[in-house]
A and B are shown apart, each in its own frame.
Chain A
Amino acid sequence: MNSRISHIASNTFREAVRDRVLYNLIAFALLLSGAAILVGKISIAIEKLVVINLGLTAVSLFGVVIAIFIGIGLVSKEIEKRTLYTVLSRPVRRWEFIVGKFFGLAGTLAVNTFFMALGVFLALFYVSHTFVRADALIFVALYFIILEFLIICALALLFSSFSSPLLSAVFAFSLFVVGSFAEDLRNFAAMTHGITRWLATGTAYLVPNFSAFNVITSIAHEQPVAGQLIFHNTLYAFFYALMALSGAVLIFEYRDLK
């Protein structure tokens, strides 16, 4: 990574921290500890299941919300406020700006996820007083969640490079929701005929396939994750994020700044 990209990335991270984005961690911690205590009171048999399920789902949702809310403004806000003028009149290429923003956002999410994961493990320890080998599966789920964040960061940046924050948020959230049901959409497509089939299949393969990244339920039941899925998801996430990021660069490269 060249030095300009890393400077832009760390400045993006600094902005997120100063915007008190990490305050959401407090909300997360409260939610999780509250839930853990509550669950502990209801049932001893399923408490671990619930903590893992709830904890990881919360990690994923909190992250997605942060990724979208920061990501949508990363480019358009800088154009709007004209803070970009004095950046791009330096020896900074436009693609470096986009890539730097991406890494800054991804870094923010990584740090955020680290602390939330810590919270999940603490809650787990609180209810079961010990860690077993199967708990290592949680790392796989967390890895998938981070891959998912990379895709969302890239998509949010892509939308931010050509539309307003509000529209970008709508686009990004819609894609997240549709992507979470990508598997169902593919199944639906297979059942239809004619033009509907073409459209449904096209959409199903174009939207990010987030359903493949969601292994939370099976992990909570201590079912192992196939190595092939890990490999496949890794490739898929990198490729998808790269495509979205390239799109963002392409659009931004030729855009007039207001």
Chain B
Amino acid sequence: MPAIEILGLEKTYSVGFWRKRPKRALYPLQLTVEEGEVFGFLGPNGAGKTTTLKLLMGLVFPTAGSARILGQEWTDPAVKAQIGFLPEQPYFYDYLTAHELLNYYGQLSGMPAKDRNRRVEEVFHQVGLHDVRGIQLRKFSKGMLQRVGIAQAILHDPKIVFFDEPMSGLDPMGRREVRDLMEELKQKGKTVFFSTHILSDAETLCDRVAIIHKGLLRSVGAVEELTSSVQGKVEVIWQGTEIPASIKVLGVECHLSGEHVRAIIAENQQDVFIDVLRRERQRLVSITPVRTSLESYFVEKLRHAETTAGSAV
């Protein structure tokens, strides 16, 4: 049984105060996340990630479509006991102490008192807030609130956690800790579905990722699968102060900087290119393979989407 099945959820907001205009935030989305997966939901700002998560949490209502979580209708309150949610830039009742907040949330999740007390202590240790648990949340920094957010999401030991931008607002140490925590959840067999616009966060962590842009799903797959579909590139640098005409006709983009010329070319163009350079008696400085990261895949994919946007949207 898949953990999450998104069956054509879509959302059109209406914006404007007097004259309402429709604003498409999410085109019909079809996506399945298996149990035990760490799934990255990637996209630049405004792509529709938060909208998708809010739809799944029942915070906003879809224009059409539905979803199933752990095999049940997603609006079923029984499902809610099995999921945890960290909103984007979370904010909490600031008149409560962190401890009171978690206790309250444990009550709302229907945790019995004994479990609750134990788990509250446990998660405070886990997110590194044990020392400040008695302080009112109004005195918490953004990064601390983020940790409280993570704590409340995992408090009731849910089967699936949904994190919206879990690393935002955290320092490098904090990001590292969140990454470890997600690993830990995976070890325990939990499903983690998280959104991010920072690709390096996803690269090391995710079993699979989905890429969304302007409300449209662009691709889904394992990180290696996606990046290997992008052709390998090499960077070639040679000495020179101008670009020979025979290179220009190859249509390769070259950059002059001081005594050097730099070009990024496709791997399979490499031999031809070097031959041309040799014939032109240019002095080669270096040839370096460019590692295709998720980042470059992303940039390429989105640039592609940009040029075809007219027809796709």
Residues on the A chain within 8 Å of B95, using CB: 14-15, 18-19
Please tell me which one of the listed residues A18, A82, A90, A257 contacts residue B109 in the complex, with CB atoms under 8 A apart. Answer: A90
Q: How many residues of B contact A (CB 8 A)?
A: 33
Q: Is the CB of A83 within 8 A of B104?
A: no
Q: Is the CB of B90 within 8 A of A90?
A: no
Report the Cα distance A82→B84, complex, angstroms: 16
Residues on the A chain within 8 Å of B84, using CB: 89
Residues on the A chain within 8 Å of B156, using CB: 90
Given A86-B87, A91-B109, A11 and B77 contact (CB-CB distance below 8 Å): no
Interface residues as binary, B88-132 with A (CB distance below 8 Å gives 1, 0 otherwise): 011111011000000011011110000000000000000000000
Given A83-B92, A86-B90, A11 and B104 contact (CB-CB distance below 8 Å): yes
Between A4, A90, A257, the greatest number of chain B beta carbons within 10 A of the residue's beta carbon is seen for: A90
A3 within 8 A of B: yes
Q: Is the CB of A83 within 8 A of B105?
A: no
Nearest to B13 among chain A residues (CB) is A256
Report the Cα distance A84→B105, complex, angstroms: 11
Q: Which of A73-97 contact B (CB under 8 A)?
A: 81-93
Nearest to A6 among chain B residues (CB) is B107
Residues on the A chain within 8 Å of B89, using CB: 82
Residues on the A chain within 8 Å of B58, using CB: 88-89
B57 within 8 A of A: yes
How many Å from the CB of A179 to the closest CB on chain B? 30
Interface residues as binary, B134-166 with A (CB distance below 8 Å gives 1, 0 otherwise): 000000000000000100110010000010000
Residues on the B chain within 8 Å of A93, using CB: 77
Report the Cα distance A91→B156, complex, angstroms: 11
Q: Which of B180-232 contact A (CB under 8 A)?
A: none
Residues on the A chain within 8 Å of B83, using CB: 89
Report the Cα distance A88→B152, complex, angstroms: 13
Q: Is the CB of A82 within 8 A of B80?
A: no
Q: Is the CB of A257 within 8 A of B54?
A: yes
B272 within 8 A of A: no
Q: Is the CB of A7 within 8 A of B57?
A: no
Report the Cα distance A81→B90, complex, angstroms: 9
Residues on the B chain within 8 Å of A131, using CB: none
Given A4-B108, A256-B60, A89 and B85 contact (CB-CB distance below 8 Å): yes
In order of increasing CB-CB distance, the 8 nearest A-B pairs are A89-B85, A256-B60, A18-B95, A91-B80, A85-B87, A257-B59, A89-B57, A7-B107
Residues of chain A whose beta carbon lies under 8 Å from any beta carbon of chain B: 3-4, 7-8, 11, 14-15, 18-19, 81-93, 254, 256-257
